[in-house]
Amino acid sequence: MTARRRTRIVWGLRGTALAVFLAYLPGWHASRSGGLVVVEHWLNRPVLLIGAAVVLLVASLVVGLGFRTRFAQIGCAAVLAPLVVAGIAILGLSLLFSANGGREDRFVSPNRTDRVLTVTNVAFSIDPVYQVELETGSGWSARHWSMGTWDTSGGDFVRIDWSGPDEITVTGREKFTVFDVRSDGSLSEPRVLPKQGSAAAEPSS
């Protein structure tokens, strides 16, 4: 391989790595409360996109250095081995999450079909941990609004309901947490109301 061709390949790989990383940034921004649902769904893929960018950068280094001598090849292997192990570990964690978590339940508002509650199990353990969001709008303009992450082992989350046309209630063992939905689809600050005169309720199965 000539030096000129090697240089073209190196910069091609680096340019592709930069493009992949830049593609991830809108997805990361859309993952915040109020972000666009479609953009987050397609581009908020840190393991896939950042992992691909790192692989492309490492490949550009390998191509650029050449590693013609045996000593250089051994050094390259010593550098790449930890990266391979880290990649396998990340992939294993992703598969574990897919197996134990990631289930999403959706609850459409009884009054407006363009308002949907999503409850996603994001736990890596047996006890569920729920990420709760409100999706408003439809198509490319749909946005998601965070209602927090709820650990069921603490008893703060038993169930969630549409308790009114513009009201959502999270029921816990000892309290209610109420969110109001504004006209633009965003959420108010939560109101915490204690349960009156009743023993702690058990979670529904």
Mean pLDDT on 164-179:
92
Mean pLDDT, the chain, rounded, equals 81
Could you give the CA distance from residue 59 to residue 74 in angstroms, rounded to a whole number? 16
| Highest-scoring range by mean pLDDT, 55-59, 148-152, 177-181, 192-196 | 177-181
In this prediction, residues 65-90 reach a mean pLDDT of: 64
Cα distances from 106 to residues 79, 143, 202, in angstroms, run 45, 15, 22
Q: pLDDT digits over 78-110, tens only? A: 666 676 666 666 656 555 555 544 567 899 999
Whether 156 and 165 have beta carbons less than 8 Å apart is answered as no
Are 180 and 167 in contact by the 8 Å Cβ rule? The answer is: yes
- Percent of the chain with pLDDT strictly greater than 90: 44
46-65 and 70-100 helices, crossing angle to 10°: 170
